[in-house]
Amino acid sequence: MTIYRSLNPADFPLPEWHPYMIGSVVPRPIAWVTTVDQSGRPNLAPFSYFNVFSSKPPVAAFSPSTSARTGKPKDTHQNLLEVPECVIHLVPYALAARMNITTGEYERGIDEIERAGLDTIPSEVVRPPRIVGTPVQMEAKLRQIISLGDNPGAGQLILVEIVRLHLAEHILNDKGHPDPRKMDVIARLGGFWYMRLVPESLFWMKQPRNPAEVMAWHELPRDIRESKVLSAAEIGHLLAFRPPDAERLASLPEPSDPEALHRKMQSLLPDKAEEAWRMYIEHVQSGI
Ligand SMILES: Cc1cc2nc3c(=O)[nH]c(=O)nc-3n(C[C@H](O)[C@H](O)[C@H](O)COP(=O)(O)O)c2cc1C
């Protein structure tokens, strides 16, 4: 049985609580954000309290907190109040260390882009520039800022509407959509840990469109529910794919050597659940 450590946020001051927040929701994508101040000076900073929240309208949000060091809003937040536009970039592994350089809390007006040796190209719709070498770039306009407090560490949730999406050709699949196998972007974990989006860490799982495409737990043959070979994840993949003749499963005999059969099915999971079921049914029907 899993033993849990249960924490009450109210018991912890910010520096002790922060590691639990950034370590518990993982991995987080990183918004690498360009903004400009009212005199047009650019700023670049990373934020991993970030995601997209609506497709139409296309809305993204990230959250620069009030600085724990200075007690002031971060430059990105301040700039958005002056010029309500930004460009959000995803960070490719190739630029991970450059991204790290741009996190330094430099004085306002210091150009982190120049310091990190990065090149820019103009945006089509907004004033902040785009960072060269990033695979995904979202030009966006400010919609709303939701202040979650004014103490150090309190997030200032910035909601922006995407007005242009730029995708590097080399990350696209044959339908023109971003292919996760080609992106190699980084994500933030707890502490100083990061991860790379690389093919070895991916798996494919089709979303069932309606409940008739999946099985119910009680419909799974008993040997599969109690398998000593198949992992919980693999049993889940079988549960999520309903074979065409699922109703017949209950009336079929149990396999004589379930472990051997489960090992064969295992080699087809996670992506070939259909074949794994076909093999199971043929096997038990033939009485082996
Ligand atoms: C990977 C990464 C993710 C970060 N995410 C956040 C975040 O979500 N919110 C935040 O306030 N600071 C975050 N920081 C720290 C800011 O990048 C840092 O405070 C930066 O100096 C802010 O820049 P600015 O003042 O130019 O806006 C993060 C730093 C790193 C390296």
Q: Do 21 and 61 sit in the same domain of this protein?
A: yes
Residue 138 forms beta bridges with which residues?
88, 165
Q: Which atom of ligand 1 is nearest to the CA of 79?
A: 27
How far apart CA 22 and CA 48 sit, in angstroms, is: 9
Does pTM surpass 0.85?
yes
Residue to mutate (ligand 1; options 47, 72, 78, 79; most atoms within 8 A of CB):
47
CB 270 within 8 A of CB 202: no
| 37 belongs to a structural domain | yes
My answer on whether omega of the bond before 57 falls inside 30° of 0, hence cis, is yes
Task: Please identify, by atom number, the ligand 1 atom nearest to the C-alpha of residue 50.
Answer: 8
Compute the distance between CA of residue 188 and CA of residue 42 in angstroms, rounded to an integer: 24
Query: What does the alpha-carbon distance between residue 1 and residue 14 come to, in Å, rounded to a whole number?
Result: 31
Q: Does 250 lie in the same domain as 117?
A: no
C-beta separation of 84 from 77 below 8 A: no
Distance separating alpha carbons of residues 60 and 130, to the nearest angstrom: 17
Q: What pLDDT does residue 78 have?
A: 96
Q: What distance in angstroms lies between residue 2's CA and the mean position of ligand 1's atoms?
A: 34
pLDDT of residue 223: 95
Nearest CA to ligand 1 atom 30: 46
5 Cα: distance to centroid of ligand 1 (angstroms): 28
Residues 119 and 17 in one domain: yes
Considering only CA atoms, which residue is closest to atom 4 of ligand 1? 47
Q: How far apart are CA 49 and CA 47, in angstroms?
A: 6
CA of 238 to the centre of ligand 1 (A): 42
For the record, the structure tokens of 173 come out as 């699949």
**Ligand 1: centre distance to CA 61 (Å):** 14
Q: Give the residue numbers spanning the domain of 48.
A: 9-201
Q: Is residue 62 part of a domain?
A: yes
Task: Provide φ and ψ at 19, rounded to 5°.
Answer: -60, -30
Asked whether residue 156 falls in the same domain as residue 15, the answer is: yes
Nearest-atom index, ligand 1, CA of 104: 21
Which of 173, 201, 229 is the last residue in one of the domains?
201
Tell me, yes or no, whether 120 and 44 share the same domain: yes
Compute the Cα dihedral for 120, 122, 128, 134 and give only its sign. negative
Residue 57 sits in a domain whose CATH number is 2.30.110.10
Write down which residue in 201, 231, 250 finishes a domain: 201
Residues with CB under 6 A from ligand 1: 30, 43, 45-49, 63-65, 74-76, 100, 103-105, 188
Of 201, 228, 247, which residue sits at a domain end?
201
Task: Please count the structural domains in the chain.
Answer: 2
**Within a domain: 4:** no
Are 288 and 255 within 8 A, CB to CB? Answer: yes
Which DSSP symbol is given to 64?
Answer: P
CA 48 – ligand 1 centroid, Å: 7
Distance 122 CA to ligand 1 centre (A): 23
The pLDDT of residue 63 is: 98
In a domain, 3, yes or no: no
Q: Is residue 229 part of a domain?
A: yes
- Is residue 135 domain-shared with residue 153, that is, in the same domain? yes
Given this model, what pLDDT does residue 111 score?
A: 86
| 14 is a domain residue | yes
Does residue 62 share a domain with residue 190?
A: yes
Task: Tell me, yes or no, whether 95 and 47 share the same domain.
Answer: yes
CA separation for the pair 158, 214 (Å, rounded): 39
**CA–centroid distance, residue 19 to ligand 1 (Å):** 14
- Are 67 and 185 contained in the same domain? yes
Report the alpha-carbon distance of residue 115 to residue 70 in Å, rounded: 22
**Which atom, in ligand 1's list, is nearest to the CA of 77?**
27
Q: What is the pLDDT of residue 288?
A: 59
Residues 48, 30: Cα–Cα separation, whole Å: 4
Asked whether residue 206 is assigned to any structural domain, the reply reads no
**Considering only CA atoms, which residue is closest to atom 5 of ligand 1?**
47
CA of 31 to the centre of ligand 1 (A): 9
CA 76–ligand 1 middle distance (angstroms): 9
The residue whose CA is least distant from atom 7 of ligand 1 is 47
In-domain check, residue 2: no
In angstroms, the Cα distances linking 288 to 28, 136, 194, 255, 279 are 48, 53, 48, 7, 12
In a shared domain, residues 181 and 216: no
Say what the alpha-carbon torsion angle 216, 222, 227, 231 is, to the nearest 10 degrees. 0
102 shares its domain with 221 = no
In this structure, are 177 and 227 located in the same domain? no
pLDDT in tens, the chain (288 residues): 999 999 999 999 999 999 999 999 999 999 999 999 999 999 999 999 999 999 999 999 999 999 888 888 999 999 999 999 999 999 999 999 999 999 988 887 788 899 999 999 999 999 999 999 999 999 999 999 999 999 999 999 999 999 999 999 999 999 999 999 999 999 999 999 999 999 999 988 888 888 888 999 999 999 999 999 999 999 999 999 999 888 888 888 999 999 999 999 999 998 899 999 999 999 998 875
